[in-house]
Structure formats: structure tokens, C-alpha cells
Amino acid sequence: MKLRLRVWRQKNADAPGAMVTYEVDGISRDMSFLEMLDTLNEELILRGEEPVAFDHDCREGICGACSLVINGDAHGPERTTTCQLHMRSFEDGDTIDVEPWRASAFPVVKDLVVDRSAFDRIIQAGGYISVPTGSAPEAHATPVPKADADAAFEHAECIGCGACVAACPNGSAMLFTSAKINHLNVLPQGGPERETRVLDMVAAMDEEGFGGCTLTGECATACPKGIPLPSITTMNREWLRATRKVKR
């Protein structure tokens, strides 16, 4: 395949950026999107140019590092991560626009790499449970109903990639935050911090400068792990419940 790429190039956080056009040839339909970019970068290095910086790690759809907006869609046209997107989703001769996640809470570090440490700080605010120290507890000491275990697992699937923020017209992190809160709040292990978790994590989310939710639903459409939009509703319910219960 022969493709025309238009890629966002930006030297550093303070430099202005722009879309730069590149031609790549000899792309196999079985390559992943990142392998296609590797091909481009090899050529750039041979030509003595600066390669395109982009985030990636596991390349198997589980770490959440890869993060590209492809033709206006976070993670591109398929419902998967950028690393698991294959070039067969495109046609020979296509022009493909590649841009970084856009949100003021995710500033561009370089080219297509953005700083997502705001997510870490949201997790730090309450995305944990208190555990007793000592030897591992007996596995059946705390029974968990099947439905709750399923709900927890559904939310635990979130890999923290930030596609939800990138897709949201308000740069809102509600889907990510709701996945992290719901994951722990439905489990008995998460019980002791149930109220403070939701209050603190929502407060941390606001403090990072993410936007609010207008229930547009773009986040859930973009999410490679299928975290559903009603997760936000559940988080709102938890927040209102906690507000009634906790004295400030």
C-alpha cells in the first residue's frame, strides 16, 4: 500500500505545531498502525530527519500507552487501541490524518506524545483500597455476588488510555473516572472508602482542568474497552449518595 500521512509535528510543549505531509510506500495490509509509523520513522532516520514521537508500550492492547487520533477518531476507525488497529482498515492511496489527544489537561510533550499524568493524580486521590498487611487472606473470606464481580470486572477493563478525553468535545474525564470508581465501589473490598473515593476522585478530576459531562456519548463510542456511558450515571449516583452521607 502507498499512503499519504499528515502528521502533527511539534518540537516541544512550548513550540507551535503543524501538520506535516509524508508519503509512505510498501505498507502491508497486515501491519499494525504503529508498525506503519515505524516504517515512516526508519525512512526519516535514514534521511537524517527527526523521527515522529508517539507513545506505545505493550502493542497488544492492554497497557493504554498508545494514543493517536486517526482521521478525527481516537484510536482510529475500529473499536480497538491504536496498536491493535491494522492497515487493512485503510485503502491503498488513502490520506490519513494523525493527531495527538487534544485536551488542556493532556498537554502535548512532543509530536503525538501527550502528558497523561493527570490520570495518575486522579487515581492517587482514591483509586485504591485499604488492605490489611500480613499473609494473603483466605480467598473465600469475602464473598462477592457474581453480578457485582462482573460489574467490577467490566470497569476494571479500563486501561487508562485517555481516548475518552480525546473524543469528548469538552475534554471530560468522566468515563475514565467513573470506570475507576465503579470498579472498586461495587466490591466489598472497596467498601471502607466508598464515599471518600468518589468525592475525592471527582474533586481531583475537576482540579486537573478536565471539562464536565454533557452526555454527548463520544467517550463511550471511542473507548477501546467498551466502558459504557451509563458508568457515568452510576458515578453520579455514587457521588450524590456520598454527598448525603459524608460530613465535610
Q: Name the residues that contact ligand SF4, by CB under 6 A.
A: 158-164, 175-176, 179, 222-225, 227
Closer by beta carbon to ligand HEM, 174 or else 187: 174
For β-strands 95-99 and 3-9, DSSP reports them as parallel
**Binding residue for other proteins (CB under 8 A) from 128, 150, 214, 226?**
214
Closer by beta carbon to other proteins, 193 or else 200: 200
78 binds other proteins (CB under 8 A): no
Min CB(218)–ligand HEM separation in Å: 12
**Binding residue for ligand FES (CB under 6 A) from 31, 63, 144, 156?**
63
Residue 13: which of ligand SF4, ligand FES, other proteins, none does it interact with, CB under 5 to 8 A by kind? none
Closer by beta carbon to other proteins, 16 or else 48: 16
Closer by beta carbon to ligand FES, 119 or else 125: 119
Min CB(222)–ligand SF4 separation in Å: 6
Min CB(10)–ligand SF4 separation in Å: 23
